[in-house]
Amino acid sequence: MARSSKLVLTVAVTALAMFAYEHRASLPAMPDPTTLIINARNHVQPFHYSLITEPDDPSCDASIILLVHAVDAAGQPVDDLKMEASLSTANADHGAQEIKLRGRGHGNYEARISLQLPGSWDVDLMGEKDGRRARQRLSIEVAPPRPPHRVDDDDDS
């Protein structure tokens, strides 16, 4: 940057700072940075999702129910979303498993799945309603197969 450009920039910043200081009483208060971040996020993502599984400790030898709760920017449940998910894991050499979730009301959606491999699974959720879309990646941990329950022959109790 040329020396004259630096001088002009320095003078402009100084003048702006002096103006702001002299007129600070008439300027609106700066919004809380957290509020700015939340408002920007809500503009970009109109829906937000949370995810739980049944059972809450899923394993790869039993079916799993994915339970998704969807809310809008104000935290209110969102019904009638076209809700889909793509499940993938680094442990698999095949593509992602694509599923559709069924709406159950009050912002709740569910799907029954079977995941054949243990480990961490990415759950990429996609919801759409009235032209508004939101994507969110969550994850679940899937345990290895559980050993079969064994009854000892010597136990007479």
Cα 68 to Cα 25: distance, rounded to the nearest angstrom: 48
Q: Are 99 and 123 in contact (CB under 8 A)?
A: no
| Alpha carbon 85 to its chain's center | 12
- Closest residue by Cα to residue 140 from 105, 89, 91: 89
Predicted pLDDT at 5: 62
Cα 140 to Cα 123: distance, rounded to the nearest angstrom: 7
Q: What b/e readout covers 121-136, taking b as 16+ CB neighbours within 10 angstroms?
A: bebbbbbebeeeebeb
For the chain (157 residues), the mean pLDDT of every run of 10, in chain order, is 63 71 67 70 79 95 96 92 95 85 98 93 95 93 86 58
Threshold 0.85, pTM exceeds: no
Predicted pLDDT at 39: 66
